[in-house]
Amino acid sequence: MLSSISNGIIWAACSSNKAVIGHPEFCLLLPSIYSLQQYRGRKRNLKRALTKQERQERRLKREAKEAERKKYTFMQRIQISRMKHMTSISEQFPGRLNPAKEAHLPDKPTTNIFIRSAYKTQYYSVSEALQMHREMQQPSIYNNPNARIRLRMELNMTTERKTKMVADSEELVPIPYPFKHNEKRTILAFAYEQHNRDAAVEAGAEIALGPDMIKKIIKGMFRIDDYDFCVAHTDMASSILPLRGILRSRFPNKINGGLGDDFQEIIGKFKNGIKLSIRGDPIMPVWGLCDTVIGRLAMNDDELKANIAAVIEALCKHRNPALGPFINRALIMVIPGDAHFALDVNPFLPIPTEQEIEKIGKRMKKKKKGLESAKSDNSEALSSSAEAQ
């Protein structure tokens, strides 16, 4: 038996090495014997019941994982995975401002024609930036005098806690001077009384439903996926509560402005308001981006200033102003086009009081001391356990 195995091994070696058995350089391969030994410990408390705290921790982990998964759509996750090999969304054109890289550059150019990379970022007022864009959109150049104006804001997403960032959000901001945004927004209204439903349709809603349609929506007999936004009269506030899980972010309430008594005002906001979306950078979580359209180039400067002020006021509510500037840099751009000018947003930013700054400072110091004490307790516990062993 051993000779046959050996012959088989010799033949395999000869066939693979293309050698002859009698060749002087041939080396005989012999089979090896390996011993496997399994070490297995006892499984203690395998069927132990979970405590209330452990169940809560597991539930919170599941909810956090589910929230992280729902943060982006399937196509957005694919785009993010592709972008990880290229660059972050904050560093895409025109990029993100880093003041440290401009520290050695001169402050202001000596002439009106200069190379941008040779000087620090030049900030302009709203009127100056709009005037430069209007000069570029004249008939002899780009010939688009009624172009849409885009406001691109780079954000600092840090909060009081180092591990927590400003949450992503999307909302509609009412502006004092509406404009034609070329977006079709379908609105579904809920009202108890018939005259309120008629008023909603007259204000611009596609359809207005009463309390008898709530059960049909729950059973799936009426599709609500075809509507972008939902509004409701206050007399339907309790009746639409079963739809909270179906409507989700579209559920009308006081916070998003979808619940009220005046359909003309509510639907006007959803029809003419500006979409304001805050997106965190998946590669650099401390960075964020907010890109929105604020008006058209044919509007006068005062109207555009009022729209910019309304947008920045709504944006700055998402972060405490005592933590520092929320906006790293704001750029005024035109759609379509790559020309951009940095905007001086200091007149529009909220100014924190000294009391708010002191309060935030004390709170952050308290948290820092708590972390240091927790670290010292952990180190003492580890040292005591090592001594005991």
pLDDT at 25 exceeding the cut of 60: no
Q: Which residue has the tokens 């070490």?
A: 39
**Mean pLDDT in residue range 52-70:** 87
pLDDT for the residue 355? 85
pLDDT for the residue 290? 94
Beta strands 148-156 and 327-335 are antiparallel
Where do the CATH 3.40.50.790 domains begin and end in the chain? 187-271
Band (pLDDT 50/70/90 cuts) for residue 304 is very high
Fold designation for 187-271: Rossmann fold (3.40.50)
Contact predicate 276/173, CB 8 Å: yes
pLDDT for the residue 359? 84
pLDDT for the residue 182? 81
Q: In terms of pTM, does the model score above 0.85?
A: no
**Mean pLDDT in residue range 1-19:** 41
Band (pLDDT 50/70/90 cuts) for residue 173 is confident
pLDDT for the residue 83? 64
Name, in order, each residue with C-beta under 8 angstroms of 276's C-beta and a sequence gap of 6 or more: 170, 171, 172, 173, 290, 292, 311, 314, 315
| Most confident by average pLDDT, 67-76, 87-96, 210-219 | 210-219
Band (pLDDT 50/70/90 cuts) for residue 42 is low
| Most confident by average pLDDT, 254-268, 269-283, 298-312 | 298-312
pLDDT at 175 exceeding the cut of 60: yes
Question: How many whole angstroms separate alpha carbon 304 and alpha carbon 294?
Answer: 7
Name, in order, each residue with C-beta under 8 angstroms of 143's C-beta and a sequence gap of 6 or more: 137
Structure tokens at 305: 């200033």
Amino acid letter, residue 304: L
Contact predicate 230/200, CB 8 Å: no
pLDDT at 8 exceeding the cut of 50: no
Return mean pLDDT, the chain: 82
**Mean pLDDT in residue range 296-304:** 94
Quote the CATH superfamily of domain 120-178+273-355.
Ribosomal protein L1/L10, rRNA-binding domain (3.30.190.20)
* DSSP class of 147: P
DSSP per-residue letters across 320-350: -GGG--SEEEEEEEEES---EEEE--GGGSP
In the chain, beta strands by DSSP E: 123-124, 148-156, 169-173, 187-190, 207-209, 229-233, 259-260, 274-280, 287-296, 327-335, 340-343
148-170: per-residue pLDDT in tens?
999 999 999 998 888 889 988 88
Band (pLDDT 50/70/90 cuts) for residue 26 is very low
DSSP per-residue letters across 46-65: TTPPPPHHHHHHHHHHHHHH
CB atoms within 10 A of CB 69: 9
